[in-house]
Amino acid sequence: MLPESLILSALIFVIGTMGVIVRRNVIIMFLCIELQLNAVNLTFVSLSRYLGIDGQVFVFFVMTVAAAEAAVGLAIIISIFRHYGSVDVDNFRMLKW
């Protein structure tokens, strides 16, 4: 069971990472970040079977942080959209300076 679940979580993580790197739509990028987080969660859960309950406890923390992050992140995305009428990340290069 373990190798399979670890391979799955690695696949999901790579998909998430590639999504963040390749896609330009902020919402998609955001979803991909969620994918990465959940891939990590899956790893925690699968390993907790062998290494003790700590991994499962940690998953709850990650979910909490992810929820908070989603709330803040979506709010920012909405306000960006209201301001510029677009969520294409190529239009937002203010991080340069």
Q: What are residue 29's phi and psi, to 5 degrees?
A: -55, -40
Total residues belonging to the chain: 97
Of the candidates 29, 37, 40, 59, which one interacts with other proteins according to CB under 8 A?
A: 29
Span 67-96, contacts to other proteins by CB under 8 A: 89-90, 92-96
Cα distances from 48 to residues 3, 6, 16, in angstroms, run 14, 12, 23
Of the candidates 5, 17, 48, 56, which one interacts with other proteins according to CB under 8 A? 17
| Chain positions contacting other proteins, by CB under 8 A | 17, 20-24, 29, 89-90, 92-96
